[in-house]
Homo-oligomer: A and B are copies of this chain.
Amino acid sequence: MSLVREQKNQERKDNTRKALLSAATKVFARQGYHNTLISDVVQEACVGQGTFYRNFTDKRAIFAALKDEFILSLLNEFQPMSEHLPESFEDYREASVQAITKLARKLDENKDFVMCFFKEAPAVDKEFSTEVALINDQFVKLAKLYLDHAIAQGFARKCNAHVVSEAIVGMGQRMIMQWLEDKIKDVELEHLVEEMVDFGFLGLKL
């Protein structure tokens, strides 16, 4: 077969796959993973039922594909952060604000999928559940890297860095989720993050 032909075919196939992925995102967000039928997805994608099975083995597979795509883009963005460590308390605070704000904005881009994913993924099966935990662990690791450095450099209070990192991630996670769900109104993201970071850096002490 001609190369051009082959290329066109591949393109058509890719488009179909993309249509399915995008449709699935929409439907999962609307109805939740467990309440979504394959027929809902293909209807949304305007393709035949069989077309779904040419591209994915089952519902779990398309959810996994969306997850992989999401995780990849997330790690791409936050992996590099570990390269530049802050050099002072102010730096540290600023970097924290930046990172959390960036993360929130990033998640906001895929808001629908993100919210669906964190709600549904733990309930899909053990494997998925684990994977969600791993993502969080990545962020705990990153937080701990910064914190260890800050303690070593002497501009952060000595503490159990692991425990505190877990706490930081828990704080951030709930904050962002509440914000994504519009539960925290009347507050700009920037301000919200600053409040939170201030709490983390200063505590409740006078």
Contacts and interface: CB of A to CB of B under 8 A. Distances in A.
A174 interface: yes
Given A89-B205, A123-B32, A192 B163 contact: yes
Contacts of A169: 174
Number of chain copies forming the complex: 4
Mostly, the A contact residues are helix
A201 interface: yes
Interface string A127-142: 0010001001000000
Given A123-B32, A123-B119, A174-B173, A199 B156 contact: no
A155 interface: yes
Contacts of A166: 174-175, 178, 184
Q: How large is the interface on A (under 10, 10 to 19, 20 to 34, 35 or more residues)?
A: 35 or more
Nearest to A151: B204
A202 interface: yes
Which of A150, A169, A205: most chain B Cβ within 10 A? Answer: A205
A123 B175 contact: no
A76 interface: no
A163 B169 CA distance: 15
A202 B122 CA distance: 33
A169 to B, nearest CB: 6
A125 interface: yes
Contacts of A150: 204
B123 A34 contact: yes
A157 B203 contact: yes
Given A163-B192, A163-B196, A201-B205, 16 more contacts: A156-B204, A156-B205, A157-B202, A157-B203, A162-B184, A163-B199, A164-B195, A167-B175, A167-B200, A170-B170, A170-B171, A170-B172, A170-B173, A173-B174, A174-B174, A202-B205
